[in-house]
Structure 1
Amino acid sequence: MMMLPFKLAVLLFQIYPLLFLPLFLQLVSSSSSPNKIPRLSPHYKKTSILRDTDQKFSSASATSEDNYKTYYYTQTLDHFNYGPHSYATFEQKYVVNFKNWGGPNSSSPIFAYLGAEAPLHVDVGFITDNAPSFKALAVYIEHRFYGKSIPFGSSMEKAMKNKTLRGYFNSAQAIADYAEVLLHVKHKFGAHKSPIIVIGGSYGGSALASSAPILYFDNITPQNGYYSIVTKDFKEASHSCYQTIRKSWSEIDKVASKPNGLSILSKKFKTCSKLNSSMDLKDYLDAIYSTAAQYNFQLDDSVGKFCKGVDGAPKGTDVLGRIFNGVVSVEGNYTSCYDTNEYNYVDETELGWRWQGIKLVLHRFGSNIIFSNGLKDPYSSGGVLEDISDSIVAVTTLNGSHCIDLLSSTKTDPEWLTIQRNTEVKIIKGWIKKYYADLHAFKERE
């Protein structure tokens, strides 16, 4: 089996026209940035604030499962070293949809979706919507250590407890995995001359990179990058709301320092369980703010809803009372209590992302929350808001929501979202045209 070092995998995307098309498209907006909890992925966790959105995404591309065929590729555990464990292998899942493909002898591209921090999803609306017009072969690749692609048939929990095994759970190995699988797919299905359009959301974004944090890796983004955008969203919605949130952090600490202060806070916010510290409440509120800003459009202007609750509280309501009124506005008034742990329940995906997010991807960032006093979560913004070069193109919008452009289009989509998707398609068509022009020129030189 060919060993494919990480540096080579990157070069293949950039300089080998017969293998990959050099595609680095960043799609971001004023509300699109990685978040504390839920994860960076467009396939977010089921929580009350995301309940409706999660349903929209899972049903966004209602295609027949008969169109998809599942395969497993015998993948190298370690692409970079030559020790005894380096030659171990595991089975990596990938799924192919042949329905729209023009075949190996056509000029049809391959749309490759890079799985992120979750079991593999094949309901990527952008691919489903555009594969027919491009006559594209759709390939979906599962990220190592998730779903059916955990080495040695282990569980995520067991893998995370194995110090040796979890060392192979990183983004560099994952990129090399994708390169190997795509080379294998081109060979297996005779698509030797087909350009590959790589599509990913958030952490998984590498080509058509929807809300992807690609600047994490260049020490460009400031430490307050993510939360400065969250802050900006709330400040734009309502300056008085922003000021109330800013004041609330010190007020929470002030109340917590009193005798029975945590009980007072728990009663005020109707928490389902006892607060062990003021950070329990701060973390819960931080997750609400981050989620509201990150998925604002999908959540029907949740930032605006929160601020309307804050600003619309009865006259004379204190700071924390106004914050709680905002919580009720977005979380709903249908419950007898509010679960401050709802963003912290651990499943396989959450367990894996904690390792990736904190230890491997975002380790250099310390949080600097503009409207907070010291929450410590290593997340920030690494999105691109302007063109970096002719091949690294930013498609920005005034409004937006995390990875919204990857959902299936609908008749009710706003004009800015339709324009954004049309711009992406136009750019991709240009890339493919250039690919075949370069290929023709290459043949002429032979």
Structure 2
Amino acid sequence: MTTVLNGTGRLNTPRLGVVDRTRVKNHGGLIETIADIKPSSSSDDLQTFFYTQTLDHFNYRPESYTTFQQRYVINCKYWGGANSSAPIFVYLGEESNLDFDLGGVGFFNDNAARFKALIVYIEHRYYGQSVPYGSRKEAFQNASTLGYFSSSQALADYAEVIIDLKKNLSAEASPVIVVGGSYGGMLASWFRLKYPHVAFGALASSAPILYFDHITPEDGYYSIVTKDFRDYLDSTYSSAAQYNSPPNYPVSMICKAMDETPKETDILSRAFAGLVGYRGNSSCYDTNIYNYPSETLVGWSWQTCSEMVMPIGHGSNNTMFQAAPFNLSGFIKSCKRKYGVSPRPHWITTQFGGYDIKRILKRFGSNIIFSNGLKDPYSSGGVLESLSPSLIAIHTKNGMSYIYSTFLLVKS
């Protein structure tokens, strides 16, 4: 999301989904986006269904029994069937339309055939085609209609769909492995903790479950961003020096581009000019491409203003960014102006735990794999060390994030 600075600090939280989605068209001011990754599964393998979902799982008011249609998609191509108790891999949708993820999950593509697994994708409520109240306009009308838009409600949704699906398939004996990335990775780990009778195990990729209540230093995210860019510049200059040969002489190209900048140009701009001189120029750089309104940004805005309060900021000494510490009071005021409600910054750790995570997971958790790529800024809030033989952490030093890449490591 956009960074909002008003002289008092950082107020917004970067969205968790890490797949690059590129703007394609505008519908009445709302931008549709698509994943940059091409699904490997044929559309012929995918079957779409809708489950009549309960709006409110935790109360008994008349409106709690309102229902909506929640989308889920099944790929039966590799499934060994209920009679053989073949496993079920369930993808827990995150803060986006489910279409972005169908067929693109590396873990599924690599392992479904091997384990003869059924693949199931479940869309997160309030995203894609799984919107209560009949339309997005009605669902996002105010805090009253958005009040059912929470991680706990989403987890209960997933439990209902999985239990109903297993019953319909007579697959009660088939073990379920839930899978998710970023926010979906959080949901996968939390689902295993909250619904161990439904999921036998979880694969949580790029899941910053420790980025709440200042468990992780608030500058962790932007420290990694800074390091990533520093490493990229370093590799660019090293490559230029190593391959400084005709006809281009890249070192000369970099130096020439830097020297041709105006005298008053700052160091960062000179470095950028050198990079452009080496890598190539473009007539226009759209710096606002990720700031256009989309269903993901609109939905994530509510989630961060209600319960997903992640104190992310940056100081003046350890990142390349202008000092902007996380400002909780300013954040609360901003959310109250936007939605008329105050965030609950401590709810996630109350509901799912966080402090002394090793003790909590050892007591209550098992069969969870946490995978991270250390170049992903959100890895700063992830579980990076194995905690027990069944609580395993996998990470790559130069890896990215998310299930499209990191999950491929699970095989090895």
TM-score (norm 1): 0.61
The correspondence of residues 150-165 of structure 1 with structure 2, limited to 5 A, is 150-155=131-136, 157-165=137-145
- Note if 1:315 corresponds to 2:259: yes
Corresponding residue number in structure 2 for 1:200: 180
* Candidates 314, 317, 324, aligned match of 1:368: 314
* Candidates 78, 83, 91, aligned match of 2:69: 91
The correspondence of residues 205-216 of structure 1 with structure 2, limited to 5 A, is 205=185, 206=188, 207-216=202-211
Aligned counterparts of 1:47 and 1:375: Cα–Cα separation in 2:
28
- Note if 1:43 corresponds to 2:19: yes
- Note if 1:334 corresponds to 2:282: yes
CA displacement 1:255-277 (0-9 Å, x = unmatched): xxxxxxxxxxxxxxxxxxxxxxx
Secondary structure of the 1:215 match is coil
Change (3 A) 1:57 1:373: closer
The correspondence of residues 252-271 of structure 1 with structure 2, limited to 5 A, is none
Greater mean deviation of Cα atoms: 369-378 or 79-88: 369-378
Quick check: 1:145–1:352 contact (8 Å CA) kept in 2? yes
More helix by share: 1
Corresponding residue number in structure 2 for 1:231: 226
More strand by share: 2
Secondary structure of the 2:301 match is helix
Aligned counterparts of 1:321 and 1:218: Cα–Cα separation in 2:
36
- The AA in structure 1 aligned to 2:206 is S
Aligned counterparts of 1:345 and 1:126: Cα–Cα separation in 2:
31
Corresponding residue number in structure 2 for 1:169: 149
Change (3 A) 1:357 1:313: farther
Higher relative contact order (CA 8 A, sep 6+): 1
Aligned counterparts of 2:144 and 2:81: Cα–Cα separation in 1:
42
* Candidates 109, 114, 127, aligned match of 1:146: 127
Corresponding residue number in structure 2 for 1:389: 388
- The AA in structure 2 aligned to 1:333 is N
Change (3 A) 1:350 1:392: same
Change (3 A) 1:58 1:85: same
Change (3 A) 1:69 1:323: same
Aligned counterparts of 2:235 and 2:40: Cα–Cα separation in 1:
42
- Gaps of at least 5 residues in structure 2 are 1-11, 25-32, 189-201, 237-251, 332-376
- Note if 1:357 corresponds to 2:356: no
Quick check: 2:90–2:120 contact (8 Å CA) kept in 1? yes
Secondary structure of the 2:83 match is coil
Aligned counterparts of 1:185 and 1:309: Cα–Cα separation in 2:
60
Change (3 A) 1:214 1:329: farther
Aligned counterparts of 1:138 and 1:56: Cα–Cα separation in 2:
20
- Gaps of at least 5 residues in structure 1 are 1-34, 49-53, 242-307, 408-416, 427-446
- The AA in structure 1 aligned to 2:110 is D
Quick check: 1:94–1:139 contact (8 Å CA) kept in 2? yes
Aligned counterparts of 1:143 and 1:399: Cα–Cα separation in 2:
30
Question: CA shift at 1:86, angstroms?
Answer: 1.4
Change (3 A) 1:93 1:41: same
Change (3 A) 1:400 1:83: same
Question: CA shift at 1:134, angstroms?
Answer: 0.5
Aligned counterparts of 2:392 and 2:255: Cα–Cα separation in 1:
39
CA displacement 1:256-300 (0-9 Å, x = unmatched): xxxxxxxxxxxxxxxxxxxxxxxxxxxxxxxxxxxxxxxxxxxxx
Q: CA-atom RMSD, angstroms?
A: 3.4
Aligned counterparts of 1:55 and 1:329: Cα–Cα separation in 2:
30
Corresponding residue number in structure 1 for 2:118: 137
Change (3 A) 1:45 1:126: same
Question: CA shift at 1:342, angstroms?
Answer: 2.0
- The AA in structure 2 aligned to 1:346 is P
Question: CA shift at 1:394, angstroms?
Answer: 0.8
Corresponding residue number in structure 2 for 1:301: none
Question: CA shift at 1:217, angstroms?
Answer: 4.7
Aligned counterparts of 1:329 and 1:105: Cα–Cα separation in 2:
62
CA displacement 1:355-407 (0-9 Å, x = unmatched): 2234431x24041252222346789642121113333211011211121x534
Corresponding residue number in structure 2 for 1:443: none
Secondary structure of the 1:209 match is strand
Quick check: 2:22–2:36 contact (8 Å CA) kept in 1? no
- The AA in structure 1 aligned to 2:183 is Y
Question: CA shift at 1:115, angstroms?
Answer: 0.7
- Note if 1:346 corresponds to 2:333: no
Change (3 A) 1:85 1:230: same
Secondary structure of the 2:258 match is coil
Corresponding residue number in structure 1 for 2:158: 178
